[in-house]
């Protein structure tokens, strides 16, 4: 088979597997791995090449090296849910304005525009149009070559190799803003600043994906967590954590109202809440679009970020948190020690 035809056949299969209701985990794994491998082979991409291993350090966080961005495809559940979310959002735009394409501004495409390419198998260029933004030069070159290799140029309205935390949107006719420059706990990468820069420049009814990302402070019982992770019986519920409070959220509303919570605040924890639990963690959960969500441990993006283990004798009585932006974005966290307070209440 001609090289390009083989690539196209794999993309078609990727789309079928992602949009199928009853895909098995094994099938998803096999299909997404062969998708990445097909692209790496096509581009003769040796991941050990020095240029593919260089992160780009921006004023507002790190843009990961090409090699690691390519591997994101294989964060399986993430890829399936994000692509499904973008499809549902595009369907909803097309229902509202039939006859004109749903326009998608995709920021942080990686080398393979992973989160939108499967849509080209179910929509025509008159139904969806992409603006693609990627800051890493090597990644950007591969992105263009990828679009070309499939012959999908008609879907791309604009390419930009630029830093989206500073980007002034040229064509504000955007129906869907898709931003995927993040890691667990919104650490290191510039998701927050990109969203803060772009959302106010776009239409009020634009759909932001993820619609909401929230970080919460949780207390865990790690023995029960182990039983939860090993449990194969879906009818057995294992309660191993308690969410104490949401500590940071980003969505369209907080950005537009200028209400992103960058202030330092303290979440108090009672002796009773600490009992039978031995770890403090930050949970990341996100609503991508409508019912497409990513919760605890379903993806690399929602692995809990463990802050500390404690014993019941320790005098932890709260956690002070502050989300910081700049070259190393993320939550600054301090454990407050001292006597327990009687009636704990969050000050958020």
Contact residues toward ligand SAM (CB under 6 A) are 58, 63-64, 69, 72-73, 107-110, 114-115, 133-136, 139, 163-165, 180-181, 189-190, 194
Phi, psi (deg, nearest 5) at residue 140: -60, -40
Helix (H) or strand (E) holding 146: helix 137-150
Rank residues 209 and 220 by Cβ distance to ligand SAM and give the closer one.
209
Rank residues 133 and 199 by Cβ distance to ligand SAM and give the closer one.
133
One-character DSSP codes across 66-86: HHHHHHGGG-HHHHHHHHHHH
Q: How far is the CB of 251 from ligand SAM (least distance, A)?
A: 19
Distance CA 319, CA 269 (A): 8
Q: How far is the CB of 56 from ligand SAM (least distance, A)?
A: 6
Q: How far is the CB of 95 from ligand SAM (least distance, A)?
A: 26
Give me the residue whose beta carbon is nearest to ligand SAM: 108
Q: For the chain, what is the largest distance between any 2 Cα atoms, rounded to a whole number of angstroms?
A: 72
DSSP letter, residue 245? E
Structure tokens at 303: 């692995």
Burial class (CB in 10 A: 0-12, 13-18, 19+), 134: buried
Rank residues 213 and 267 by Cβ distance to ligand SAM and give the closer one.
213
Rank residues 84 and 225 by Cβ distance to ligand SAM and give the closer one.
84
CB 133 within 8 A of CB 168: no
In the block, residue with structure tokens 């956690």: 319
Rank residues 114 and 216 by Cβ distance to ligand SAM and give the closer one.
114
Q: How far is the CB of 112 from ligand SAM (least distance, A)?
A: 6
Q: How far is the CB of 294 from ligand SAM (least distance, A)?
A: 13
Rank residues 209 and 321 by Cβ distance to ligand SAM and give the closer one.
209
Rank residues 55 and 246 by Cβ distance to ligand SAM and give the closer one.
55
Distance CA 258, CA 213 (A): 16
Q: How far is the CB of 44 from ligand SAM (least distance, A)?
A: 19
CB 245 within 8 A of CB 346: yes
Q: How far is the CB of 103 from ligand SAM (least distance, A)?
A: 18
Closest CA to 164 of 178, 151, 150: 178
- Residues sharing a CB contact under 8 Å with residue 141, sequence separation 6 or more, in sequence order: none
Closest CA to 286 of 203, 201, 157, 191: 191
Rank residues 195 and 278 by Cβ distance to ligand SAM and give the closer one.
195
Q: How far is the CB of 63 from ligand SAM (least distance, A)?
A: 3
Q: How far is the CB of 242 from ligand SAM (least distance, A)?
A: 30
- Residues sharing a CB contact under 8 Å with residue 151, sequence separation 6 or more, in sequence order: 4, 8
Rank residues 54 and 341 by Cβ distance to ligand SAM and give the closer one.
54
Q: How far is CA 47 from the centre of its chain?
A: 23
Write down the H helix ranges in the chain. Answer: 3-19, 25-42, 66-71, 76-96, 137-150, 191-198, 222-230, 252-256, 271-274
């Amino acid at each position: 088979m001609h090289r390009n035809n083989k690539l196209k056949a794999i993309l078609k299969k990727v789309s079928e597997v992602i949009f199928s209701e009853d895909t098995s985990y094994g099938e998803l794994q096999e299909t997404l791995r062969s998708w990445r491998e097909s692209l790496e082979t096509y581009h003769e991409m040796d991941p050990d090449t020095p240029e593919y291993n260089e992160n780009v350090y921006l004023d507002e966080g790190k843009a990961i090296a090409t090699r690691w961005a390519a591997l994101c495809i294989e964060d399986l559940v993430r890829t399936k849910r994000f692509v499904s979310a973008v499809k549902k959002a595009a369907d909803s735009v097309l229902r509202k304005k039939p006859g004109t394409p749903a326009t998608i501004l995709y920021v942080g495409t990686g080398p393979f525009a992973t989160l939108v390419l499967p849509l080209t198998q179910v929509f025509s260029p008159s139904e969806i149009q992409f603006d693609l933004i990627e800051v890493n030069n090597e990644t950007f070159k591969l992105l263009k070559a990828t679009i070309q290799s499939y012959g999908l140029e008609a879907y791309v309205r604009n390419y930009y190799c630029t830093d989206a935390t500073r980007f002034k949107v040229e064509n504000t006719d955007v129906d869907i803003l898709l931003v995927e420059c993040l890691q667990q706990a919104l650490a290191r990468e510039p998701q927050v600043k990109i969203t803060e820069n772009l959302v106010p420049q776009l239409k009020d009814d634009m759909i932001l994906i993820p619609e909401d990302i929230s970080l919460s402070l949780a207390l865990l019982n790690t023995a029960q967590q182990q039983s939860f992770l090993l449990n194969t019986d879906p009818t057995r519920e294992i309660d191993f954590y308690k969410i104490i409070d949401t500590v940071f959220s980003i969505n369209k509303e907080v950005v537009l109202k200028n209400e992103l919570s960058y202030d330092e605040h303290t979440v108090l924890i009672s002796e009773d809440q600490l009992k039978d639990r031995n770890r403090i963690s930050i949970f990341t959960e996100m609503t991508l679009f409508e019912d497409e969500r990513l919760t605890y441990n379903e993806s690399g993006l929602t692995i809990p970020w463990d802050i500390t283990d404690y014993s019941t004798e320790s005098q932890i009585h709260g956690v002070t948190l502050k989300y910081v932006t700049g070259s190393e974005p993320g939550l600054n966290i301090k454990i407050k020690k001292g006597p327990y307070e009687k009636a704990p209440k969050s000050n958020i």
